[in-house]
Structure 1
Amino acid sequence: MCVPEEVPDRFAPLRRYEQIIPRFSDFLAYMAKPLPRTARVNTLKASVEEVLASLEERGIEFEPLGWYEHGLKLLNVEKPGNLLEYFLGLIHPQEEVSMIPPLLMELQPSELVLDLCAAPGSKATQIAQLMDNTGHVVANDVSSTRVRLLRDNYERLGVLNMSVTTYDGRRFPPVCEFDKVLVDAPCSCEGVIRKDYGVLRQLGPGLYRRMHKLQRALLLRAVRLVRPGGLVVYSTCTFAPEENELVVDYVLKRVEGLEVLPVELPGLRHEPGLTEWDGRELHPDLALCARFYPHLNDTGGLFVAVLRRVS
């Protein structure tokens, strides 16, 4: 695929990934394209069939996401948040790869689930939806401003099984053991560049180091909050190994009794996690993690790891 002349200069900070991202020229070309607009159908308020019929009746064009029955690609909508279906809580604008982590949590009715970095609530409300408003979801976020957005979203979407806390996730109190924990960690956000090219201006070694320190503390807390046999899903929307495999590697080397599970999601292409970066050998099981690059499925970027606490 031919890359426009301005792409190499605009995306210079991403050149560090040229040796780890397959078909790197295609990757750069997709990074220069607008991100498709996608949304999740909220089955807490209506069936998929009812929502699709409403959209069709009003002339809104869409394509179902082939890999996820509740996902839609909106084709002729500039701002999904302006749709009547949004205000009624029938849909929630959500980037396609953002829908992946909750689907890997093996959620069961009546479980106790923690979303450690939950605001503004796309994944937390998806968790509640997948549990059909049963069990209990603790949606935690340290930012009081972002928590207001979280509350707005769960009220609009009809979530009934959620409570909100505002702890620093690194020091979330160990008052109980959770069946499942999601750590959708703050990150350098390289995977959302297709929505915000301003992200490129902030990238650099200092940011990667700061994020790595925060992320490893969050993941360390998460694996200590989950019950034996429970799952921790760790995800970021960045490509930086410092924020992805190096974080998981750090925790695996310091906490016994953790198992890396393979990421299996039929219908979406991904690359395996890295087992080496910058001359450093990493835990071999990190190959079971998944890297979702924009040019593989025409999405944003995502890294995800699934850990089971076996003891």
Structure 2
Amino acid sequence: MKPVRRELKPIEVIVAEVLEEVERKRLSLRLTMERYFSDNPDLYPVKGVIRAFSLAVLRNFRLLDTIIKCVFDLQADRLSPFMRNLLRAVVYEIVFRDIKSNRIKALTKYFKGQLNITYKDFRILRGLEIREVLKGYGGLERLAVRYSQPLWVVKYLVKILGEDETIKLLKRFNEPATLWIRVNTLKISTEGLLKRLRGRGLSVVRDDVFFDTLKIEKVRSALSRLPEYKERLFYIQDKASILVGHIVSPEANQLILDACAAPGSKTTHLAQLSALRARIIATDISLSRLLFLKKYSKEAGFDNIDIFVADARAYRSPVKFDKILVDPDCSSLGILGHSPEVRLWIKESYIKTYADIQYSILRNVLEMVKRNGLIVYSTCTFTVEENECNVKRLLEEFGNEVELVEHEPFIGRRGLLGFRQMQRLYPHVHDTIGFTISVLKKIK
């Protein structure tokens, strides 16, 4: 007897279910999709489509909500998470993809009895001009709606970049993020992996700065399904994050602390760059994420990493380190394009909260680095409070013990507030996620 095959849900409904989970639990889209498709393996063939569609809705959520208010006189934030995201998905399809009428008719049944939106109502969206929707908005509020960002984020970016460059950045945030991978050169050469991936039909090019970095220009399916990924021949990691490992530049016999290590992209890169000859101590406050690091390290062959659960604000080591990497949680303004779900819950108050935590970590690890040792401090955000101001505060409090120094590789722009030794990377300029990096040297 053949198994009964269940009817495939409309793509829009699947997207709504995924985004409902993202909203309710404030989880990343990546993790939510992993869980969703693990529970629904028969839907795996459409995973790539669902991911692309979900990203498109997230990158336009505020504009879609504005359209919903203008056309249907509905406040999206008053709807249930599922209904809100289903309506966003359908509106996106009609306005930006011009889907066929019979598909719209089939989807209207999901709104009966709840919103009572009919096929005729949806037809109004045909040929809708975005400029008409934005007519009631001016200045920075117009930019915030058009590019679906919190208004405070737009104001902040204009303050540090100016309006013209902010528009370029906002546009880049709403385009597909560039996909970078780091080659596990302990298992395969960069050229060897390049040939294997091209042999599978991927469009891949070597990075012109880092020997262990490849740029994926075209992919047919999820990279995590490739045999090369399962063999741990590469790690999916942004070029800005890869840059950090090269700045730390671990050497044989050095003792290095990665104070905020999980999930481990930079930790494993440090192990790799040292050819397993440096000893890496990886600490993090999250046990679950450290377990992933432990599992991955074993599978990838990184046996020079010792892993401990610890709060970097209070961790004390009986020995001092040659180098310490501090890459703490932050306000995440640099990944608003790569991970647009962050836009749904990010608040301006997070800046001070994270800045205080970050400074506590910097202050603590300063006691654990050797004289002439280095602290590499990096964040995936643009705020001066979490970067330049934290460095300034540390120099003011411990100026006789530490100094801000130049570093290499330097591929970004100079820091703000006169901190030219710091570097900043921007998606619209450097084709990476947003990052800010500083290097501090212990002088006493």
For 1:259, the equivalent position in structure 2 comes to: 403
Distance, in Å, in 2 between the alignment partners of 1:52 and 1:58 is 10
Q: Which residue of 2 aligns with 1:134?
A: 277
Q: Pairwise CA RMSD of aligned residues? A: 1.7
Query: CA 1:7/1:65 → structure 2, altered by over 3 Å: closer, same or farther?
Result: farther
Show the counterpart of 1:38: 180
Q: Measure the CA separation in 2 of the matches of 1:186 and 1:230.
A: 23
Larger helix proportion of the pair: 2
Once the two structures are TM-superposed, the CA of residue 21 in structure 1 deviates from its matched residue by: 2.0
Per-residue deviation, 1:221: 1.4
Instruction: Report the Cα offset of residue 7 of structure 1.
Output: 5.0
Task: List gaps (5 residues or longer) in structure 2.
Answer: 1-129, 132-141
The separation in 1 between residues aligned to 2:333 and 2:222, in whole angstroms, is 22
**1:121-147: CA deviations, max 9, x gaps?**
000000001100112000111101111
Does structure 1 retain, via aligned residues, the 8 Å contact 2:244–2:378?
yes
Matches within 5 A, 1:173-252: 173-252=316-395
1:28 maps onto 2:164 in alignment: no
Partner in structure 2 of residue 279 of structure 1: none
Shift of 1:253: 1.2
Question: 1:96 Cα shift?
Answer: 1.5
* Residue identity opposite 2:204 in structure 1: F
Deviation of the 1:13 alpha carbon: 3.1
Provide the aligned length of Structure 1 versus Structure 2.
297
Counterpart residue number, 1:51: 193
Q: What SS class does the counterpart of residue 242 from structure 1 fall into?
A: coil
What are the superposed Cα offsets for residues 248-275 of structure 1, whole Å, 9 maximum, x if unpaired?
A: 1111111132111124325x3x222121
Partners of 2:246 and 2:172 lie apart in 1 by 25
Task: Tell me whether 1:305 sits opposite 2:402 in the alignment.
Answer: no
| Distance (Å, rounded) in 2 between the aligned partners of 1:117 and 1:27 | 28
Partner SS, residue 420 of structure 2: helix
Between structures 1 and 2, the one with greater strand share: 1
Partner of 2:326: helix, strand, or coil? strand
For residue 295 of structure 1, what is the amino acid of its counterpart? H
| Contact 2:152 2:348 survives alignment (8 Å) | no
CA deviations 1:197-251 (Å, max 9, x no partner) are 2212333332111101110011111221110011100000011111111111111
Between 128-137 and 257-266, report the one with greater CA deviation: 257-266
Name 2:152's counterpart in structure 1.
Answer: 13
Aligned match of 2:30: none
Quote the Cα distance in structure 2 between the aligned partners of 1:139 and 1:262: 25
Q: What are structure 1's unaligned runs of at least 5 residues?
A: 276-283
- Aligned match of 2:28: none
- Report the CA distance shift for 1:7/1:40 in structure 2 as closer, same or farther (over 3 A): farther
Is 1:290 the counterpart of 2:423? The answer is yes
- The residue identity in structure 1 corresponding to 2:187 is K
Q: Which of the pair has more CA radius of gyration?
A: 2
**Amino-acid identity (%):** 30
Q: How far, CA to CA, are the matches of 1:148 and 1:125 in structure 2?
A: 14
Between the aligned partners of 1:119 and 1:148, the Cα distance in structure 2 is 9
Which structure has more RCO (C-alpha within 8 Å, separation ≥ 6)? 1
C-alpha separation between the residues in 1 aligned to 2:245 and 2:366?
17
Which runs of structure 2 are paired with 1:158-177 in the superposition (5 Å)?
Answer: 158-177=301-320
Mapped to 2, the partners of 1:263 and 1:118 lie a distance apart of 21
Distance (whole Å) between structure 2 residues aligned to residue 128 and residue 174 of structure 1: 20
Distance 1:198 1:7, change over 3 A: farther
Contact kept? 2:249, 2:270, Cα under 8 Å:
no
CA distance in 2, matches of 1:240, 1:32: 20
The answer to whether the 8 A contact 1:119-1:150 is kept is yes
TM-score (norm 2): 0.64
The secondary structure found in structure 1 opposite 2:160 is coil
Separation (CA, whole Å) in 1 of partners of 2:209 and 2:403: 26
Q: Distance in 2 between matches of 1:173 and 1:73?
A: 39
Please say if residues 262 and 284 of structure 2, whose CA atoms lie closer than 8 Å, have aligned partners that are also in contact.
yes
What SS does the aligned partner of 1:20 have?
Answer: helix
